[in-house]
Amino acid sequence: MNDRPEEFPAAIRSLLAQDGVDLDIVVVGNGCAPDHVPDGVRAVELPTNVGIPEGRNVGAANVKGELIFFFDNDAVLPAPDALSRLAAEFSRDPRRAFVQPRIADPVTGLTLRRWVPRLRASHPDRDGIATVMAEGVVMVRRDMFEAVGGWPGHFFLFHEGVDLAWRLWDRGCVGHYAPDVIVHHPATNPARHANFHRLNARNRVWLARRNLPAPLIPLNLATWVLVALWRLRGLAAFRASLAGLAEGLRGGYGTRAPMRWSTVARLARAGRPPVC
């Protein structure tokens, strides 16, 4: 969106410096003509801001390759072999549909708990099976990405990574967390977005209604409401969350395709039953 004039060129330089992989890079301008796009890198200009997940779908449709790497424009790959090492992870288990590196703040080295897509998030240096993903820095197999329909573009922002991960798991795939590959990304607070509380609540409802067997939907949402009430601070945040919850319950979640009960069991065995 041309709002990161220093971070974006650094992100592109780190991509172009990668060794051991053939790259086809496209920059998506979400409601803008992208600035600072170097030679050899293509740009796609969208007339309006369609949201982050749909912008990623547009990017994926405009590049070639067996693997797709989604990369936020304020992230940096500090090592030139980061992408080749991520790509190598897929050959170690044919069931792997996505691989996420360890995300760390470039100044403090901190890895936020929400960036760790597996259990025991207090130990971000341990690898393991990933049942969710930090969607801004993740590598996905193209065939599986296309088979499940890509990102839920209408989510606009928040929880699209859980939605995609659940649908990939429902195809019999798994995710992998590879913490030995590090990507730098500033440790920002998602609540900085003006619509955070409303979209967060709405998309939690949409996530459940799109993906879960009917008996699990009220359990999932009740668990989320209890956790949200514990964490929410301030009347404005409460009202925005309530508005988002009501919006989600009214509909608009898209096509309903509940996961199989065998997928529920697999997620539970991996430590992340889809009820929270």
Concatenating the DSSP letter of every residue in 67-119 gives: EEEEE-TT-B--STTHHHHHHHHHTT-TTEEEEEEEEE-TTT----GGG--SS
pLDDT reading at 191 higher than 70: no
Strand locations in 162-276, DSSP E? Answer: 174-184
Whole-number pLDDT of residue 2: 87
Q: What mean pLDDT do residues 233-240 have? A: 86
Look up residue 28 and give its two tokens. 């998506």
Q: What mean pLDDT do residues 220-227 have? A: 91
Q: What is the 3-state secondary structure (H, E, C) of 136-181?
A: CEEEEEHHHHHHCCCCCHHHCCCCHHHHHHHHHHHCCCEEEEEEEE
Q: How confident is the model at residue 1 (pLDDT cuts 50, 70, 90)?
A: confident
Most trustworthy range by pLDDT among 90-104, 114-128, 215-229: 90-104
d(CA 245, CA 168): 26
The residue behind tokens 């009501």 is: 246
Whole-number pLDDT of residue 163: 98
List Cβ neighbours of 185 (8 Å cut-off, separation of 6 or more).
Answer: 72, 74, 75, 76, 103, 104, 105, 106, 115, 136, 137
Spatial CA neighbour of 28 closest among 146, 114, 151, 201: 151
Digit-coded pLDDT (tens) for 49-91: 999 999 999 999 999 999 999 999 999 999 999 999 999 999 9
Q: How confident is the model at residue 121 (pLDDT cuts 50, 70, 90)?
A: confident
Q: What mean pLDDT do residues 175-183 have? A: 98
**Amino acid letter for position 199:** L
Whole-number pLDDT of residue 194: 63
Whole-number pLDDT of residue 190: 74
Task: Say if strands 26-30 and 67-71 run parallel, antiparallel, or are unpaired.
Answer: unpaired
pLDDT reading at 23 higher than 70: yes
Whole-number pLDDT of residue 192: 62
**Amino acid letter for position 272:** R
d(CA 41, CA 172): 35
The reported pTM is: 0.95
d(CA 8, CA 27): 10
The chain-wide mean pLDDT, for the chain, equals 94
Q: Considering the chain, what percentage of its residues have pLDDT values greater than 70?
A: 99
Q: How confident is the model at residue 234 (pLDDT cuts 50, 70, 90)?
A: confident
Digit-coded pLDDT (tens) for 260-270: 999 999 999 99
Strand order in the sheet with 67-71: 67-71, 137-141, 96-104, 174-184, 128-130
Whole-number pLDDT of residue 193: 62
Q: Domain 7-187 belongs to what architecture?
A: Alpha-Beta Complex (3.90)
